[in-house]
């Protein structure tokens, strides 16, 4: 008899439909010490201290949202690590990657350590932390990697927090320095000089209406940035990830770079797939986000890119602000972004119900691919023996309505208020522990979340043109050699 039968499991889940990227199977799942020890027929499971009946529910790998802003420290009136991770748990999300545009900006070892202390005390779900890669932080790369990051964030364009965008020269040097670490660089790919100039002209012309925001950032802003970042990644061998892909036009430089063998990946968000320019009149400033929600013609190409693999994953850019900050009359003074970590799964499952794609496609984009791209697979992102027991238990048939007032984020204002959805995450489990059960937060799981940097295993780095990096050419001193 094998080992798994001799040592009892902590928990066996019976009766659920287990979703993998390939198929859906009726199976039981045994969990011990936070990890899955067996998936299979009920009578093949080890003895268990506890059982859980998941009849009628689909068991999905918990979603991995690689793009959230939990605002802690610095803007905790908008969100903090506790409210943000509670909101994630209610959305079936078991791992989040938090962005560095907090106060202080996560740009050196001490700031990163301070955020680790906050997150480990408050998080209900697992997390990774990003650090900024900017004009003046290149020399901090070693200490940031040492202090435990999941990846770097590079702001090619200005957005909330106004972190200055690096010059192309600084980006090249930064990519040269990050490439040998193997870490991935996530890009806010909007070219600052184009949109700053357009915004200035629009402000001068007197435009203050919500659609002026879209007019200030046409898709070329993103296309130019994606193409430029891909060239720098190709040259240096740095790994990159394109955040919040918003337009059909970005898909060409992304697909071309993939075809050339560049290690480049991409995400899109529900608002680019499901909202369009027609929604500005209804939502006004609430819809203001960077990059902007665009013309409806972009939606079908973005869906097609998810299905054909050009876009690798779904993320949310969860960007909470207060109602006052979102409803100012002048569009230029409205804060950008809105909460999304809790609504992503129901919105995307609604398209499963509508027949656009399968539930297996969905878990590929929400869990398996993010885990693969970020070096967490097969520890996370999949339901199989050896993986962490991170699950979303979902009623796929439940029709309900999203209401901002019901969000667990501190920010209760979004463009999704009143939207009908089908598919409800009923319980959420992180490493074998219920964090949400029957739509109630398990308060004691505050501080249970852990940083995933310790389990991250990126493939071996593949730096290129190492003999031509700034560091290499500065080290060359022909006059001394002569
Ligand atoms: O709209 C946005 N809001 N886009 C970003 O890139 C940043 C985010 C925020 O932090 O509020
Ligand atoms: Zn963001």
Domain CATH number, residue 206: 3.20.20.140
Q: What is the enclosing helix (H) or strand (E) of 18?
A: strand 17-19
Is residue 456 within 6 Å of ligand 1 at its C-beta?
Answer: no
Q: Which residues lie below 8 Å from residue 437, measured CB to CB, with a gap of 6+? A: 427
Q: Give the range of the structural domain holding residue 37, as residue numbers without chain letter.
A: 3-56
Are residues 149 and 7 both part of a single domain?
Answer: no
Is residue 160 within 6 Å of ligand 1 at its C-beta?
Answer: yes
Structure tokens at 106: 């996560």
Is residue 140 within 6 Å of ligand 1 at its C-beta?
Answer: no
Is residue 186 within 6 Å of ligand 1 at its C-beta?
Answer: no
Residue 155 Cα: closest atom of ligand 1: 6
d(CA 379, CA 225): 33
d(CA 158, CA 137): 17
Are residues 210 and 273 both part of a single domain?
Answer: yes
Q: For residue 317, which of 94, 91, 67 has the smallest C-alpha distance?
A: 67
Q: Report DSSP state, residue 340.
A: -
Residue 133 covered by a domain: yes
d(CA 353, CA 401): 15
Rounded to the nearest whole angstrom, what is the distance from the C-alpha of residue 477 to the centroid of ligand 2?
Answer: 42
Are residues 34 and 102 both part of a single domain?
Answer: no
130 within 8 A of 152, measured Cβ to Cβ: yes
Residue 288 Cα: closest atom of ligand 1: 1
Is residue 229 within 6 Å of ligand 1 at its C-beta?
Answer: no
Structure tokens at 10: 């902590």
Are residues 146 and 96 both part of a single domain?
Answer: yes
pLDDT, tens digit, 9 for 90 and up, residues 36-65? 999 999 999 999 999 999 999 999 999 999
Rounded to the nearest whole angstrom, what is the distance from the C-alpha of residue 289 to the centroid of ligand 2?
Answer: 9
Rounded to the nearest whole angstrom, what is the distance from the C-alpha of residue 54 to the centroid of ligand 2?
Answer: 35
290 within 8 A of 262, measured Cβ to Cβ: no
Is residue 188 within 6 Å of ligand 1 at its C-beta?
Answer: yes
- Taking the mean position of all CA atoms in its chain, how far away is CA 273? 16
Backbone angles phi, psi at 127, to 5 degrees: -150, 160
348 within 8 A of 80, measured Cβ to Cβ: no
Are residues 10 and 158 both part of a single domain?
Answer: no
Residue 321 Cα: closest atom of ligand 1: 11
Residue 454 covered by a domain: no
Taking CA atoms, 129 is separated from 240, 424, 450, in Å, by 16, 28, 11
Ligand nearest to the CA of 68: 2
Helices in 50-187 by DSSP H: which ranges? 81-90, 109-122, 141-147, 168-178
Query: How many structural domains does the chain have?
Result: 2
Helices then strands (H, E): number in the chain? 18, 19
Backbone angles phi, psi at 82, to 5 degrees: -75, -50
Taking CA atoms, 467 is separated from 142, 304, 472, in Å, by 20, 40, 6
Ligand nearest to the CA of 341: 2
Ligand nearest to the CA of 289: 1
In a 13 Å sphere around the CA of 253, the CA atoms on its Cβ side amount to 23
Residue 469 covered by a domain: no
> What does each of the 482 residues of the chain score in pLDDT, given as a tens digit?
455 567 899 999 999 999 999 999 999 999 999 999 999 999 999 999 999 999 999 999 999 999 999 999 999 999 999 999 999 999 999 999 999 999 999 999 999 999 999 999 999 999 999 999 999 999 999 999 999 999 999 999 988 988 999 999 999 999 999 999 999 999 999 999 999 999 999 999 999 999 999 999 999 999 999 999 999 999 999 999 999 999 999 999 999 999 999 999 999 999 999 999 999 999 999 999 999 999 999 999 999 999 999 999 999 999 999 999 999 999 999 999 999 999 999 999 999 999 999 999 999 999 999 999 999 999 999 999 999 999 999 999 999 999 999 999 999 999 999 999 999 999 999 999 999 999 999 999 999 999 999 999 999 999 999 999 999 999 987 776 55
Is residue 159 within 6 Å of ligand 1 at its C-beta?
Answer: yes
Q: Which residues lie below 8 Å from residue 32, measured CB to CB, with a gap of 6+? A: 7, 9, 10, 432
Residue 425 covered by a domain: no
d(CA 11, CA 391): 13
- Taking the mean position of all CA atoms in its chain, how far away is CA 32? 28
Mutational test site, ligand 1, from 65, 67, 68, 69, max ligand atoms within 8 Å of CB: 69
Q: Report DSSP state, residue 368.
A: I
Are residues 72 and 102 both part of a single domain?
Answer: yes
Is residue 339 within 6 Å of ligand 1 at its C-beta?
Answer: no
Neighbours of ion ligand 2 (CB under 5 A): 317
Are residues 14 and 109 both part of a single domain?
Answer: no
Question: Is the alpha carbon torsion for 422, 424, 430, 435 positive or negative?
Answer: positive
pLDDT of amino acid 1: 45
Are residues 329 and 211 both part of a single domain?
Answer: yes
Q: Which residues lie below 8 Å from residue 243, measured CB to CB, with a gap of 6+? A: 67, 186, 187, 188, 189, 267, 315, 317
Residue 167 covered by a domain: yes
Rounded to the nearest whole angstrom, what is the distance from the C-alpha of residue 363 to the centroid of ligand 2?
Answer: 22
pLDDT of amino acid 220: 98
Residue 161 Cα: closest atom of ligand 1: 10
d(CA 170, CA 142): 17
Are residues 205 and 341 both part of a single domain?
Answer: yes
Are residues 180 and 41 both part of a single domain?
Answer: no
Is residue 337 within 6 Å of ligand 1 at its C-beta?
Answer: yes
Is residue 199 within 6 Å of ligand 1 at its C-beta?
Answer: no
Ligand nearest to the CA of 101: 1
Is residue 336 within 6 Å of ligand 1 at its C-beta?
Answer: yes
Structure tokens at 119: 């997150």
Is residue 289 within 6 Å of ligand 1 at its C-beta?
Answer: yes
Rounded to the nearest whole angstrom, what is the distance from the C-alpha of residue 203 to the centroid of ligand 1?
Answer: 20
Mutational test site, ligand 1, from 71, 267, 289, max ligand atoms within 8 Å of CB: 289
Rounded to the nearest whole angstrom, what is the distance from the C-alpha of residue 172 to the centroid of ligand 1?
Answer: 24
Are residues 182 and 281 both part of a single domain?
Answer: yes
Residue 478 covered by a domain: no
pLDDT of amino acid 131: 98
Residue 26 covered by a domain: yes
Is residue 326 within 6 Å of ligand 1 at its C-beta?
Answer: no
Q: Which residues lie below 8 Å from residue 219, measured CB to CB, with a gap of 6+? A: 246, 247, 248, 249, 250, 294, 298
Are residues 70 and 50 both part of a single domain?
Answer: no
68 within 8 A of 402, measured Cβ to Cβ: no
The residues that bridge with 13 in the sheet, in sequence order, are 29, 52
Residue 335 covered by a domain: yes
Rounded to the nearest whole angstrom, what is the distance from the C-alpha of residue 289 to the centroid of ligand 1?
Answer: 6
d(CA 274, CA 237): 34
Task: Compute the 3-state secondary structure of the chain and give helix, strand, coil in percent, each to the nearest 5.
Answer: 40, 20, 40
Q: For the whole model, what pTM was predicted?
A: 0.97
**CATH number of residue 40's parent domain:** 2.30.40.10
Rounded to the nearest whole angstrom, what is the distance from the C-alpha of residue 288 to the centroid of ligand 1?
Answer: 9
pLDDT of amino acid 481: 58
């Amino acid at each position: 008899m094998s080992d798994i039968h001799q040592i009892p499991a902590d928990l066996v889940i019976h009766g659920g439909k287990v979703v993998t990227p390939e198929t859906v199977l009726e199976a039981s799942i045994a969990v011990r010490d936070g990890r899955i020890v067996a998936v299979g027929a009920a009578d093949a499971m080890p003895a268990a201290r506890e059982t859980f009946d998941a009849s009628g529910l689909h068991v999905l790998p918990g979603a991995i949202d690689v793009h959230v802003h939990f605002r802690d420290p610095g803007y905790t009136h908008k969100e903090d690590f506790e409210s943000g991770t509670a909101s994630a748990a209610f959305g079936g999300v078991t791992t989040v990657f938090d962005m560095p545009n907090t106060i202080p900006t996560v740009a050196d070892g001490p700031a990163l350590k301070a955020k680790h202390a906050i997150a480990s005390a408050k998080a209900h779900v697992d997390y990774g932390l990003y650090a900024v890669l900017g004009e003046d932080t290149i020399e901090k790369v070693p200490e940031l990697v040492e202090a435990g990051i999941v990846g770097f964030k590079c702001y090619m364009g200005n957005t909330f927090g106004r972190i200055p965008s690096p010059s192309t020269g600084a980006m090249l040097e930064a990519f040269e320095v990050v490439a040998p670490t193997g870490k991935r660089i996530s890009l806010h790919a909007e070219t600052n000089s184009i949109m700053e100039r357009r915004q200035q002209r629009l402000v001068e012309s007197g435009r203050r209406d919500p659609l002026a925001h879209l007019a200030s950032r046409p898709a070329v802003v993103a296309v130019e940035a994606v193409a430029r970042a891909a060239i720098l990644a190709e040259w240096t061998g740095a790994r990159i990830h394109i955040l919040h892909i918003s337009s059909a036009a970005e898909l060409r430089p992304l697909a071309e770079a993939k075809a050339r063998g560049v290690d480049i990946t991409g995400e899109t968000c529900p608002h680019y797939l499901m909202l369009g320019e027609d929604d500005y009149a209804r939502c006004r400033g609430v819809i203001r986000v960077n990059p902007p929600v665009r013309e409806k013609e972009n939606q079908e190409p973005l869906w097609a890119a998810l299905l054909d693999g050009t876009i690798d994953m779904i993320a949310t850019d969860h960007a909470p602000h207060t109602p006052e900050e979102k409803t100012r009359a002048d569009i230029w003074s409205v804060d950008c972004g809105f909460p999304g970590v809790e609504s992503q799964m129901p919105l995307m499952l609604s398209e499963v119900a509508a027949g656009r794609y399968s539930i297996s496609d969905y878990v590929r984009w929400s869990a398996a691919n993010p885990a693969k791209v970020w070096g967490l697979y097969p520890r996370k992102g999949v339901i199989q023996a050896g993986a962490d027991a991170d699950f979303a238990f979902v009623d796929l048939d439940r029709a309900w309505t999203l209401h901002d007032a019901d969000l667990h984020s501190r920010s209760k204002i979004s463009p999704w208020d009143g939207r009908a959805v089908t598919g409800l995450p009923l319980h959420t489990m992180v490493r074998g522990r219920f964090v949400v059960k029957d739509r109630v937060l398990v308060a004691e799981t505050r501080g249970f979340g852990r940083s995933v940097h310790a389990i991250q295993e990126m493939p071996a780095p593949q730096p290129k043109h190492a003999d031509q990096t700034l560091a290499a050419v500065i080290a060359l001193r022909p006059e001394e050699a002569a």
